[in-house]
A and B are shown apart, each in its own frame.
Chain A
Amino acid sequence: MKFVDEFREPGVIGKASAEIRRLADPARHYRFMEVCGGHTHAIYRFGLKDLLPSNIELVHGPGCPVCVLPMGRIDDGLSIAQDPNVIFTAFGDMMRVPGTHGSPLEHKARGMDVRIIYSPTDALKLAQKNPGRHVMFFAIGFETTAPSTALILMRAKELGLPNFSVFSNHVTIIPAIRAILDSPDMRIDAFIGPGHVSTVIGCRPYEWIAKNEGKPIVVSGFEPVDVLQSIVMLLQQLNAGEAKVENQYKRVVPWEGSRPALRAMADVFELRPYFEWRGMGFISQSALKIRDTYAQWDAEQRFQVPGVRVTDPKAAQCGEVLKGVLKPAQCKLFGTECTPERPVGALMVSSEGSCAAYFSYEHRKAAVLTSIGAPV
């Protein structure tokens, strides 16, 4: 239990925070991007920003699959389920994401057969139990989730299940990081790498970030101390003039990733030539399409979809926030027209979206401090 106790120990957090202050050059401004939405959530949840010196800025990355899904894809998925014979299934995270004519939950209220599932296996089971209906799984997620979708497609094929399909919106993290590094208005000094995506892909796919771009990256766990320790490791690299891939989350992430998961993904999916990311535009080879060998279970091949590109509301500045150019509260709609209850932009929908995380924790904290007359 020592390990756990160590993480609970506030003294360790204080030490990590002091070490960060010792290592950070006061003459320099550091911009570190946490790629994963889970880290964004943890950073706000624990108020980690308050433990850092003011010259270390944490920039929230694109690693929230709900947040980066363009509205046109939601419209396409919902259009398939206009057919009363179709059951639309998706994870709970998707249910409040607005499409042009409302979210999946709003469609459900209007009579569409929309069901929340917790595992892709549930969708498969639902199809087996309802042989007279068609069950479509609206799949989202990075490499953490894509192998599970791949496995159920393999099972559907083995079973020859005729009434099941997947609408794949799976995306891959590396091209998104590349797009951020290629963006002219983006200045990032180093990356806090995603934890659970890396259990699947391992650490090797990040090597180009260090070698070719000269940026340090540390794959990190989700505890406060994990994130702080990762920042210490990034500062040590920068101070030594190094750029390496390091694994802070060794207790969970193997350097080589998960071979069975990668095999399943390679068997079922191929890279799309390009895919639109909300707020970031089209990114080449950044998403997973179902291979032709599984065409019968690919909802996009099986059904006609409008395939219309829907632009986000102009006033919403999701793209700038997603790339870290703007802070959530600097968006014109933040907290007024766009709130977690009535999200306009995708970053306000998921608790891992930087706007929703900022709204829930920073906004509330400021309100509490104001109410007790404390300086904010």
Chain B
Amino acid sequence: MCLAIPAKVVELFPEEQNRALVEVVGVRRHIDTGLLADDPPNMGDWVLIHVGFAMSKISEEQALDQIQTLTMLGEQEAALEEVEGYGLGET
């Protein structure tokens, strides 16, 4: 429930401050970056996402390590299912 998924920011939207397109476990999804208001992410940054929201910025090294954790926990499929469920990209 509290596991977080690492994702890489691949597109930002100047007209929508709180939205970012990220690549996560091989798929592209829109996420909400409102919780990083004090230090918004830049292109290419890695973030940890939980229920469609970026929770914190992390280094690439940390991100790869975190992906490894998900794989080891056998959670990468659940992670994929979760991010595929984000309906944020539909509009």
- Which residues in B have their C-beta under 8 angstroms from that of A141? 1-2, 51
- In the complex, the chain B residue whose C-beta lies closest to that of A173 is B2
**Option from A41, A91, A144, A251 in Cβ contact (under 8 Å) with B55:** A144
Among A238-246, A256-264, A269-277, A287-295, the stretch that binds chain B is A256-264
**Chain A 84-111 per-residue mask, 1 if CB under 8 angstroms from chain B, else 0:** 0000000111000000000000000000
B1 near A350 with CB under 8 A, answer: yes
**12 new A-B contacts at CB < 8 Å, known A119-B53, A223-B72:** A3-B64, A7-B65, A37-B2, A45-B73, A119-B87, A122-B86, A148-B32, A148-B51, A222-B73, A223-B68, A251-B58, A252-B58
Among A14-22, A196-204, A327-335, the stretch that binds chain B is A196-204
**Shortest CB distance A42–B (Å):** 6
A118 near B52 with CB under 8 A, answer: yes
- In the complex, the chain A residue whose C-beta lies closest to that of B56 is A199
A118 near B62 with CB under 8 A, answer: no
- Which residues in A have their C-beta under 8 angstroms from that of B55? 144, 147, 196, 199-200, 258, 261
A45 near B74 with CB under 8 A, answer: yes
Taken together as a complex, chains A and B put the C-alpha atoms of A117 and B61 apart, in Å, by 30
Taken together as a complex, chains A and B put the C-alpha atoms of A3 and B34 apart, in Å, by 30
- Which residues in A have their C-beta under 8 angstroms from that of B43? none
- In the complex, the chain B residue whose C-beta lies closest to that of A251 is B62
**Chain B 25-54 per-residue mask, 1 if CB under 8 angstroms from chain A, else 0:** 000000010111110000000001011110
Most chain A beta-carbon neighbours within 10 Å: one of B38, B59, B72, B83: B72
Q: Which 7 residue pairs of A and B lie closest in terms of their CB atoms, listed nearest first?
A: A119-B52, A118-B85, A144-B2, A196-B2, A122-B87, A148-B53, A260-B37
- Which residues in B have their C-beta under 8 angstroms from that of A116? 85
Taken together as a complex, chains A and B put the C-alpha atoms of A254 and B36 apart, in Å, by 13
A148 near B87 with CB under 8 A, answer: no
Also in contact, A260 and B38, with CB within 8 A (given A4-B65, A196-B2)? yes
Among A54-62, A63-71, A366-374, the stretch that binds chain B is A63-71
**Option from A3, A121, A144, A196 in Cβ contact (under 8 Å) with B52:** A121
Taken together as a complex, chains A and B put the C-alpha atoms of A42 and B2 apart, in Å, by 12
- Which residues in B have their C-beta under 8 angstroms from that of A196? 2-4, 48, 50, 55
**Option from B2, B36, B56, B88 in Cβ contact (under 8 Å) with A119:** B88
Taken together as a complex, chains A and B put the C-alpha atoms of A323 and B52 apart, in Å, by 32
Q: Does A300 contact B (CB under 8 A)?
A: no
Q: How large is the interface on B (under 10, 10 to 19, 20 to 34, 35 or more residues)?
A: 35 or more
Q: Does B77 contact A (CB under 8 A)?
A: no
Taken together as a complex, chains A and B put the C-alpha atoms of A126 and B85 apart, in Å, by 13
A148 near B50 with CB under 8 A, answer: yes
B85 near A65 with CB under 8 A, answer: no
**Shortest CB distance B22–A (Å):** 13
Q: Does A191 contact B (CB under 8 A)?
A: no
Q: Does B76 contact A (CB under 8 A)?
A: no
A119 near B1 with CB under 8 A, answer: no
Q: Does B17 contact A (CB under 8 A)?
A: no
B34 near A151 with CB under 8 A, answer: yes
Also in contact, A120 and B62, with CB within 8 A (given A145-B2, A260-B34)? no
- Which residues in A have their C-beta under 8 angstroms from that of B86? 118-119, 121-122
- In the complex, the chain B residue whose C-beta lies closest to that of A64 is B1
**Shortest CB distance B48–A (Å):** 7
B88 near A122 with CB under 8 A, answer: yes
Taken together as a complex, chains A and B put the C-alpha atoms of A223 and B3 apart, in Å, by 12
Taken together as a complex, chains A and B put the C-alpha atoms of A106 and B56 apart, in Å, by 36
Question: Can you list 23 A-B pairs, Cβ within 8 angstroms, ordered by A?
Answer: A1-B64, A3-B65, A46-B72, A66-B1, A116-B85, A117-B85, A117-B87, A118-B52, A118-B84, A118-B86, A121-B86, A121-B88, A140-B1, A144-B50, A147-B35, A148-B52, A151-B35, A194-B2, A199-B56, A222-B3, A222-B73, A223-B72, A260-B37
**Option from A1, A4, A38 in Cβ contact (under 8 Å) with B2:** A38
Q: Does A364 contact B (CB under 8 A)?
A: no
Taken together as a complex, chains A and B put the C-alpha atoms of A278 and B50 apart, in Å, by 25
Q: Does A221 contact B (CB under 8 A)?
A: yes
- Which residues in B have their C-beta under 8 angstroms from that of A42? 73
**Option from B1, B59, B66, B82 in Cβ contact (under 8 Å) with A65:** B1
- In the complex, the chain B residue whose C-beta lies closest to that of A223 is B69
B73 near A148 with CB under 8 A, answer: no
